[in-house]
Structure 1
Amino acid sequence: MKKICSQCQTEMIEDCAVNVQGGAYGITIRQKRKGIFNSVSAKPKASVCPNCGYVAFYIDEYREFSK
């Protein structure tokens, strides 16, 4: 599904990597659940608008967070 910029309605460039400058590992989105070893995590990706520069973060494994 193509992502559309919420600022200018241009089709965004998807699947861009997200890294912290100076960090070797980037960032991770994590949800802690009850129990030992019962958590879910995902690496975020970014969409970039080639028209206005707006950036939107998303994860592909979003369904895992609703369980």
Structure 2
Amino acid sequence: MRDEEGQECPGLDEARAEAVASARSIMREALWSGRLPLNECIEIADEKGQILLTVPFREAVTIEE
């Protein structure tokens, strides 16, 4: 899934925090259908499309057994 519009953030820390929140939201929705997409990720890119940071979904949650 690609987000062509994206979201402006003042820095990488803020962009990472937003990506973590988005990953959690996507996983929460997926759980309703019995899925947990831990192998997905969100890529953070600059205005030119250069990828600056990748946030794996599994880093957005703590898995407890």
What TM-score does the superposition give when structure 2 sets the normalisation length?
Answer: 0.28
- Bigger Cα Rg: 1
What TM-score does the superposition give when structure 1 sets the normalisation length?
Answer: 0.27
Structure 1 or 2: larger helix share? 2
